[in-house]
Chains A and B, each alone.
Chain A
Amino acid sequence: MSSPFPTRALRGLAGAAVLFALLEAVTRAHIVDPTYLPPASSVLATTATLLTDPGFLAQVGATLAAWAVGLLSAVAIGVPLGILLGSSARWYAASITAIEFVRPVPSVALIPLAILLLGQDLDMKAALVAFASLWPVLFNTIYGMHEVDPVARDTARAFGYGRLAVARMVALPSAAPFIYTGIRVAAAFALILAVATELIAGGSLGLGAWMARMSETGVDRRFLYAGIVVTGLLGLVINAAMVAAERRLFGWHHRVRAA
């Protein structure tokens, strides 16, 4: 249905080019004071410089570290818990109310609480990231378990396989794509929480903290904008990598579902 790749790529680039040209025109027109809104082209140049600066890259690394630790913790807790809750109606019924109670609380609101309880170091950041990432993983895992085709499961049971074996052979592979989607969503949340925590909790490490420093008066605004571009690129790369991996791991799933 979509155009062939070369056409699509060209169109995409054209669109990006138009956007850039617009930004350049607006920023060079000096509608806003150029110290606040520098030309887009110089922002891009600054971005390139930043990406080769080890001090800046250390900040990126710090954010990524918190992101990774938090996300992995969330997966380590959320997937097994989700499998348990998803495969047993009793456990699900017992826990769902408690979960639904905690769920509406926006994770960013917990940042101040975490600061109170845990101080302002990496552990706190990672814990917050883990907490925020836990819910998409948990819910998608439960949902994936509920979506397991009962006919497939019954067939395995009829062949004499025990509960655990059935879970391993039927439920898990069937739920895996959903679990993965949960991890993908959690990855995006994790990045948001990591940067938000750095921004609010202060401290000196991480992209959020760095950008807070870059927005102080007197600092060249180009760094701030460049930092935003890099953060966006980070999010883009993470998502793109996860989507590519998903296609590889679960291509069969999409084909089956589309059929």
Chain B
Amino acid sequence: MTARRVADRAALRLGLLAGLIVLWQVATTASPHVFFPPPSVILGRLWDGWLASPAAVSGHLLPSLARLLAGWLTAIAIGLAVGTGVGLSRRLAELVEPSAQFLRSIPPPALIPLFIVLLGIGDAMKIAMIAFGVVWPVFVNTIDGVRSVDPLQLDTARAYRIGRRDRLALIVLPSAAPRIFAGLRISLSVAVIVMVLSEMVATVNGVGYVLVNAQHAFRSVDVWATIVLLGVIGYSLNLGLGAIEARVLRWQGGAMRLGT
């Protein structure tokens, strides 16, 4: 790849984005609009209002992230455990799946009033909501992954009479891992969505709280800055999960070629 082509590619990729941002900056500086602040102002607020502000970080950002992590990890543990069990047993699956289908069709926002009524407006309610929203993609994808273990590998395990624990840990779960990770990635976006939602209704701290507060006070710069912050959070979390996935599934790249 010549340097010229690399530069070309990079220019193309960044071109549109950079172009739009520049356009926006120019337009809003030239004719200011109350609700469309220039990108420079937004980024400035992102810095001194959020990232560089200890009060914001410790008072809102960290609590939000802590709740997110707590809910997400709880849901993963439950989703993996129950999903594996259900995926391995056809009988159990047929018992459970219709009810699970219904429960996971309930859109998370519909459950917010319920969770508030039952758990109040503290951390417990938010963590529980996040967990409830996140468990379903993990659950469904774990079942899918466990079910799609190659039957030839199961036959090999049977022929050699490989023990149950070995079979689960060394064959079923590694084989299901790609699909499980796909579920984890979806669950991460759901977690961020529910986290924000749970903080937008009757709460005292958190990123969502700041967002709604800013809107009520018509502070549009803060609104934009918080939105960008959420984008950054979502992007970073995804990056982190992707790194973990790459490490755990490092055999997959080669194995995919195996299949051809």
Chain A contact residues, CB within 8 Å of chain B: 1-3, 7-8, 11-16, 18-19, 32, 36-37, 90, 93-98, 101-102, 104-113, 115-117, 188, 191-192, 195-196, 199-200, 207-208, 211-212, 214-215, 221, 224-225, 227-228, 231-236, 239
Partner of B234, one of A97, A104, A221, A228: A104
Residues of B within 8 A of A224 (CB): 113-114, 117
Residues of B within 8 A of A211 (CB): 110, 113
Residues of B within 8 A of A98 (CB): 16-17, 20
Main secondary structure of the interface of B (DSSP, over half): helix
Complex formed: what's the CA distance from A14 to B109 in Å?
29
Residues of A within 8 A of B214 (CB): 112
The stretch among B53-61, B99-107, B163-171, B243-251 that forms the contact with chain A is: B99-107
Chain B, interface size: which category? Answer: 35 or more
B226 and A200: CB pair below 8 A?
no
B110 and A195: CB pair below 8 A?
yes
Residues of A within 8 A of B113 (CB): 199, 211-212, 214-215, 224
A116 and B227: CB pair below 8 A?
no
A112 and B215: CB pair below 8 A?
yes
Residues of A within 8 A of B101 (CB): 236
User: B79-122, CB under 8 A of A: which get 1 and which 0?
Assistant: 00000000000110011111101110111111111101110000
Complex formed: what's the CA distance from A235 to B105 in Å?
5
B109 and A113: CB pair below 8 A?
no
Closest residue on chain B to residue A16 by CB atoms? B99
B110 and A37: CB pair below 8 A?
no
Complex formed: what's the CA distance from A113 to B189 in Å?
20
- Say yes or no for B182: interface residue by CB 8 A criterion: no
Complex formed: what's the CA distance from A14 to B114 in Å?
26
Residues of A within 8 A of B227 (CB): 105, 109-110, 113
Closest residue on chain B to residue A118 by CB atoms? B35
A101 and B231: CB pair below 8 A?
yes
Given contacts A32-B118, A232-B103, A235-B107, contact A113 B224 (CB under 8 A): yes
A115 and B215: CB pair below 8 A?
yes
A196 and B224: CB pair below 8 A?
no
24 residue pairs bridging A and B, Cβ less than 8 Å apart = A11-B95, A12-B99, A16-B98, A90-B12, A94-B16, A104-B231, A105-B228, A106-B193, A107-B193, A108-B109, A109-B196, A112-B200, A113-B220, A113-B224, A116-B35, A196-B107, A199-B201, A221-B117, A224-B113, A224-B117, A225-B114, A235-B105, A235-B106, A236-B102
A116 and B220: CB pair below 8 A?
yes
A208 and B109: CB pair below 8 A?
yes
Residues of B within 8 A of A36 (CB): 117-118
Residues of B within 8 A of A112 (CB): 200, 211-212, 214-215, 223
Residues of B within 8 A of A110 (CB): 227
A109 and B211: CB pair below 8 A?
yes
Instruction: Give chain B interface residues in 7-40, CB to chain A under 8 Å.
Output: 9, 12-17, 20, 35
Partner of B231, one of A32, A102, A227: A102
Instruction: Give chain B interface residues in 146-194, CB to chain A under 8 Å.
Output: 189, 192-193
Closest residue on chain A to residue B105 by CB atoms? A235
Closest residue on chain B to residue A217 by CB atoms? B117
Given contacts A106-B193, A211-B110, contact A116 B90 (CB under 8 A): no
Given contacts A7-B94, A19-B99, A93-B13, contact A108 B197 (CB under 8 A): yes
Residues of B within 8 A of A236 (CB): 101-102, 105
B110 and A231: CB pair below 8 A?
yes
Q: Which A-B residue pairs are the 5 nearest by beta carbons? A: A235-B105, A104-B234, A112-B215, A215-B113, A12-B98
A104 and B212: CB pair below 8 A?
no
Given contacts A90-B12, A196-B109, A228-B110, contact A12 B212 (CB under 8 A): no
A207 and B200: CB pair below 8 A?
no
Residues of B within 8 A of A111 (CB): 200
